[in-house]
């Protein structure tokens, strides 16, 4: 955090721990959607104050309704604006991972080094994961080592699966292990995980169908069966 920010009154409202906590979460939204954590904290604070006084003014029992509503709003807002977006981003990145790392492995098999293989893969694939790797390679271009850039990349990736692959790539690059063998193991892991996720989704379908049947079809059937009795009773 810069000295200018530390001297700013808005930055003195919150503890450094709170700012860092939310900044880490916001960074997981990706390079395109990340922003300053203090902006979010200020928006949450000011809108909470406004909401409190509006409810206090509108409702007769505002002194009871306002604190409860504002408390819920204050705590739920991060889950809606940050946590839910992070969860959706994890799904998108995990979907991108299989194709990206397969192309990376093919590039490595042609004899290229890791940096060159990453450059070729990132430039040939248009995806969110590819964009994040491109930013990491840009950091390398400006003077950072590849391992440092990959460590920074993990701070922007919310997926544990992808971060585990990045960690294995970094370790293979440091210790000289076979990166290709590592990549094949990770691709197999991603494939198995996708199969398990698909099975989990399929296993939930009967339950959803049962719920829909109970809510919509059973009342309709009962209405058809009982309609003659109802009509005769009304007539």
Q: 152: domain CATH number?
A: 1.20.81
Residue 33 lies in a domain: yes
Q: How many domains does the chain have?
A: 2
CB neighbours of residue 141 within 10 Å: 10
Residue 206 lies in a domain: no
**Arithmetic mean of pLDDT over the chain:** 86
Q: Among 94-98, 120-124, 138-142, 230-234, name the one with the lowest average pLDDT.
A: 230-234
Residues 179 and 106 in one domain: yes
**pLDDT tens digits, one per residue of 74-93:** 999 999 999 999 999 999 99
Residues 121 and 146 in one domain: yes
Sorting pLDDT into bands at 50, 70 and 90, what band is 159?
very high
* CA neighbor of 192 nearest in space, from 87, 94, 88, 103: 94
Q: Which residues contact 106 (CB under 8 A, 6 or more apart)?
A: none
Average pLDDT over residues 57-74: 91
Query: Taking the CA of residue 169 as centre, how many other CA atoms within 13 Å lie in the half-sphere pointing to its CB?
Result: 28
Residues 96 and 183 in one domain: yes
Residue 235 lies in a domain: no
**pLDDT tens digits, one per residue of 104-139:** 999 999 888 889 999 999 999 999 999 999 999 999
Average pLDDT over residues 156-181: 87
**What is the model's pLDDT at position 3?**
44
- How far is it, in rounded angstroms, from Cα 66 to Cα 147? 50
Residues 22 and 79 in one domain: yes
Residue 221 lies in a domain: no
Q: Which residue has the tokens 């003014």?
A: 57
Residue 75 lies in a domain: yes
Residues 83 and 136 in one domain: no
Residue 28 · residue 85 · CB < 8 Å: no
> What percent of the chain has pLDDT above 70?
89
Sorting pLDDT into bands at 50, 70 and 90, what band is 208?
low
Domain that holds residue 126: 91-195
Against a cut of 0.75, is the pTM above it?
Answer: yes
Average pLDDT over residues 198-212: 73
Residue 156 is classified by DSSP as T
Top-confidence residue, 227 or 182 = 182
- Phi then psi for residue 35, to 5 deg, are -155, 180
Residues 82 and 96 in one domain: no
Residues 84 and 95 in one domain: no
Residue 213 lies in a domain: no
* CA neighbor of 81 nearest in space, from 46, 34, 20: 34
Residue 14 · residue 38 · CB < 8 Å: yes
Average pLDDT over residues 206-214: 68
Residue 210 lies in a domain: no
Top-confidence residue, 232 or 38 = 38
Average pLDDT over residues 39-60: 92
Residues 50 and 81 in one domain: yes
CA distances from 125 to 9, 52, 133, 201, 230 (A): 44, 48, 11, 28, 64
- How far is it, in rounded angstroms, from Cα 132 to Cα 147? 15
Residue 59 · residue 51 · CB < 8 Å: no
């Amino acid at each position: 955090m810069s000295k200018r920010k530390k001297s700013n009154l808005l930055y003195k409202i919150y503890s450094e721990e709170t700012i860092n906590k939310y900044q880490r979460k916001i960074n997981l939204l990706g390079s395109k959607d990340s922003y300053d954590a203090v902006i979010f904290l200020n928006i949450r604070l000011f809108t909470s104050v406004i909401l409190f006084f509006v409810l206090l003014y509108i409702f007769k029992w505002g002194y009871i309704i306002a604190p409860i509503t504002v408390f819920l709003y204050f705590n739920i807002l991060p889950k809606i604006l940050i946590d839910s977006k992070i969860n959706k981003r994890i799904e998108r990145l995990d979907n991108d991972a299989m194709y990206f790392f397969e192309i990376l492995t093919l590039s490595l098999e042609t004899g290229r080094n890791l940096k060159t293989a990453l450059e070729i893969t990132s430039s040939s694939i248009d995806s969110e994961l590819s964009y994040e790797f491109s930013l990491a390679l840009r950091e390398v271009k400006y003077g950072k080592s590849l391992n440092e850039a990959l460590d920074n990349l993990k701070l922007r990736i919310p997926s544990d699966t992808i971060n585990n692959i990045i960690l294995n790539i970094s370790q293979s690059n440091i210790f000289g292990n076979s990166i290709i063998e590592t990549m094949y193991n990770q691709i197999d892991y991603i494939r198995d995980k996708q199969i398990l996720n698909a099975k989990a989704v399929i296993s939930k379908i009967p339950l959803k169908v049962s719920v829909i049947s109970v809510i919509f079809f059973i009342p309709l059937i009962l209405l058809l069966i009982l309609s003659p009795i109802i009509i005769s009773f009304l007539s």
